[in-house]
Amino acid sequence: MGMVGGGRGAFIGGVHRIAAAIDQQIELVCGAFSSNPEKSRLSGEDFYLPTDRVYGSYEEMILKEKELPLGERMDFISIVTPNHVHFGPAKMALENGFHVVCDKPVTFNVDEAEILVKLVEETGLIFALTHNYTGYPMVKQARNMVKNGRIGKVRKIVVEYPQGWLATKVEDTDQKQASWRTDPAKSGMGGAMGDIGTHAENLAEYITDLKITEVCAELTSFVEGRRLDDDANILLRFEEGARGVLHCSQIAVGEENGLNIRVWGETGGLEWHQMRPNTLIVKQLEGPNVHYRTGVGNLSDAANHAQRIPAGHPEGYLEAFANIYKNVAACIQHRLAGTQPTKLERDFPNVKDGLRGMRFVEKVVENSRGTEKWTKL
């Protein structure tokens, strides 16, 4: 693995490195950790990399690594930069034969995402997008239950993602995470929408296997002077007549990272909360609520494949994140070995999910600014 971004002071880069390390199948072999070459070099030292594998730019990394013999050179790049620096390295990596793991949202805008989709199709390379919340075992269990008819035809979906960390104008302080996320030049047209709204959209579609077809939205920038939305309330229409609500916020004071989803079908319901990730509540037409738990031994293969330890030993965010890397590693190993990955191993978000996310943000912003009630996706 070669990393783009994630040098000293970054947040999500460290998460990717831990996630890649957990299952001991992936080694960080090189990186272009910062657009500042000195910072990149120092970061390389932090990770015990030889100096000649620490590069001053992703361009340099891709070209130099390509010259190394197979088996020695990086197998894929991991892109952990702000949104506006996803497209460049992703495109160049694909064009030079490297697989890609990319943080979300996939690109800065829809056009870029469409180019990447095409490139992935043409090259046949692996492209994983870290919509990490779908990596949780109980999310996979939920998807599996919906698919198996456990709750009947889906009627209603409520997905929420409240956070509170941008309730004040943090971007005016020294907070690096806040400053690029609230800057349209770096984040794209969505603020909270791009940062967390896409996670919520992806989660809802992943679990139900239903696409959102229309949106009716109100985006707000509550904090004075903020240039992007920090709050979103959206009515959703899904395929097959399902209806829904998505609301997310970064001004919900006191909320940590409260992604959660409820799905109700004709004969049952499901409820999952990211902050209590090892429990899935299953609701029934007749009879009491049932609390499914990771590790207990009555779960689907998809859930079992995504957990490492027995019941009652909580797995969390990093393990869910690692599930993407684990599957990417397995798929790359299969490529190298000339074998086929299983369906479970191929289960990670990809470039098309990325494109859907970009379109979702675009349409939500468009609807919110306009007067028409429903905007089609």
Binders of a copy of itself in range 292-311 (CB under 8 A):
292-293, 295-298, 308-311
Could you tell me if 321 and 101 are in contact, meaning their C-beta atoms sit under 8 angstroms apart?
Answer: no
Least distance from a copy of itself to the Cβ atom of residue 10, Å: 13
36: which DSSP letter?
S
Residue number, 112 or 171, with CB nearest to a copy of itself = 171
Residue number, 36 or 168, with CB nearest to a copy of itself = 168
Least distance from a copy of itself to the Cβ atom of residue 96, Å: 26
Residue number, 107 or 323, with CB nearest to a copy of itself = 323
Pick the closest to residue 244 from 141, 343, 157, 135 (CA basis): 157
Judged by CB under 8 A, the chain residues 231 through 290 that form the site for a copy of itself are: 231, 233, 235, 237, 243-245, 247, 249, 251-258, 262, 264-269, 274-278, 282-290
Least distance from a copy of itself to the Cβ atom of residue 227, Å: 18
Instruction: Spell out the residues 6+ positions from residue 339 whose beta carbon is closer than 8 angstroms to its own.
Output: none
Beta bridge partners of 279: 293
Residue number, 291 or 343, with CB nearest to a copy of itself = 291
CA–CA distance, 12 with 16 (Å, rounded to integer): 6
**Binding map of a copy of itself across residues 215-234, x = CB under 8 A, - = no contact:** -x-x-x-x--------x-x-
Check binding of 2 to a copy of itself (CB under 8 A). Answer: no
Gyration radius (Cα) of the chain, Å: 20
CA–CA distance, 90 with 4 (Å, rounded to integer): 10
CA–CA distance, 189 with 88 (Å, rounded to integer): 18
3 state DSSP class of 375: strand
Could you tell me if 101 and 76 are in contact, meaning their C-beta atoms sit under 8 angstroms apart?
Answer: yes
Residue number, 42 or 216, with CB nearest to a copy of itself = 216
Q: Which of 318, 341, 344, 377 binds a copy of itself (CB under 8 A)?
A: 318
Could you tell me if 259 and 274 are in contact, meaning their C-beta atoms sit under 8 angstroms apart?
Answer: yes
Of the candidate spans 34-42, 185-193, 204-212, 317-325, the one that interacts with a copy of itself by CB under 8 A turns out to be 317-325
Of the candidate spans 66-74, 94-102, 109-117, 162-170, the one that interacts with a copy of itself by CB under 8 A turns out to be 162-170
Residue number, 41 or 169, with CB nearest to a copy of itself = 169
Residue number, 66 or 313, with CB nearest to a copy of itself = 313
**Binding map of a copy of itself across residues 168-187, x = CB under 8 A, - = no contact:** x-------------------
Residue number, 118 or 291, with CB nearest to a copy of itself = 291
Show the CA angle centred on residue 359, arms to residues 351 and 200, nearest 5°. Answer: 80
**Binding map of a copy of itself across residues 88-107, x = CB under 8 A, - = no contact:** --------------------
CA–CA distance, 128 with 367 (Å, rounded to integer): 29
- DSSP H helices, 148-221, are 176-181, 184-187, 192, 198-208
Q: Cβ atoms within 10 A of the Cβ of 170, count?
A: 18
Judged by CB under 8 A, the chain residues 19 through 58 that form the site for a copy of itself are: 21-24, 28, 47
Residue number, 68 or 296, with CB nearest to a copy of itself = 296
- Count CA atoms within 13 Å of residue 85 on its CB side: 18
CA–CA distance, 112 with 351 (Å, rounded to integer): 11
341: which DSSP letter?
P
